[in-house]
Structure 1
Amino acid sequence: MFQNFDEIQKLGKENVDLAVKSVSAVTKGVQAIAVEMVDFSKKSFEQGSAAAEKMLGARSLDKAIEIQTDFVKSAYEGWISQATKLGTLYTDLAKEAYKPYENVLGKLTPKA
């Protein structure tokens, strides 16, 4: 299997390098997701606060319902948009984390 100790060392170093690349990709991906979530949370809080201020200033029930409806609609659309962004970020994270192992796993699969 291994002809000498140098081959074992080389294999071990290659595996460590692959793991470091993969962990680095995961770290970058998680940081991007965290930044996106913080931005979304801040934006959602600001929109909720603005809607609450408008509700307090509403002079009629119809106006209050209109404000609430607009807020719920924009919050829902924002949430759908955020979910799509996060899905893309998680997909990119998985691809980048897997990328260092593509060649290794390609060698392990049997050729037809």
Structure 2
Amino acid sequence: MTATKKAAPKAAVKATETVEAAVAAGKETVETVVKASTEAATNGVEKAVAVSQEQVAAAVKAGSDAFKNYEDVIAFGKENVDAMVQANALFVKGVQDLNQQIFAIAQATLEENAAVTKKVFGCTNVQDAVAIQNDMVKANYEKAVSESRKITDLTVKLAEDASAPITKRVNLTVEKFTKELAA
């Protein structure tokens, strides 16, 4: 029985050594796996950070470009509104000038006709009245043609002046889009 008692401790020692060796191997395997996992995780995190930084940089750049384009659109729209305001101001001023001119013509014609009417009432015979009236009709016709030319010239100038700011903006817009399409 003593031989069995001696054999048991040897077997236990051998089993213990085997278990310890297995534990050591397992520990080493776990350490290797942990180390490899840590390195892989670290590399993954570093790559993720690098990619994130690149994406953030790209987003910031794109955002800056978009904001710049947005500012350009706002500025362009503001310039268009300014051109419309300027065109309307020129139109209103031109219409006022045109109305003043028409009023002045009407007032002068009324005064001339009143003076001719006084002459007609002062006539002693029909022939003089008809002659004065014929002269008045001829003068009024010539004046109407002359003043019509002036009014037409003023109207054309008004249209040109009032449309100039808008024409300028349209030309700039066409030029801008043509350049962008060509690029």
The one-character-per-residue Cα deviations of 1:27-80 (angstroms, maximum 9, x if unpaired) are: 111011011011011101101111111111111111011100110011111111
Q: Which has the larger radius of gyration?
A: 2
- Report the residue type matching 1:74 in the other structure: A
1:101 aligned partner: 166
Unaligned runs of 5+ in 2: 1-64, 179-183
CA drift of 1:102 comes to 2.6
- Report the residue type matching 2:129 in the other structure: A
CA drift of 1:24 comes to 1.2
- Report the residue type matching 1:55 in the other structure: V
2:153 aligned partner: 88
Question: Do structure 1's residue 53 and structure 2's residue 101 form an aligned pair?
Answer: no
Question: Do structure 1's residue 3 and structure 2's residue 66 form an aligned pair?
Answer: yes
- Percent identity, aligned pairs only, is 28
Report the secondary structure of 2:96's partner residue: helix
Number of equivalences: 110
CA contact (8 A) 2:87 2:165 kept: yes
Provide the TM-score with structure 1 as the length reference.
Answer: 0.89
Q: What is the CA–CA distance in structure 2 between the aligned matches of 1:62 and 1:96, rounded to whole Å? A: 50
Question: Do structure 1's residue 43 and structure 2's residue 108 form an aligned pair?
Answer: yes
**Which 4+ stretches in 1 moved above 3 angstroms?**
none
Provide the TM-score with structure 2 as the length reference.
Answer: 0.56
CA drift of 1:105 comes to 2.4
| Structure with bigger RCO (C-alpha 8 Å, 6+ apart) | 1
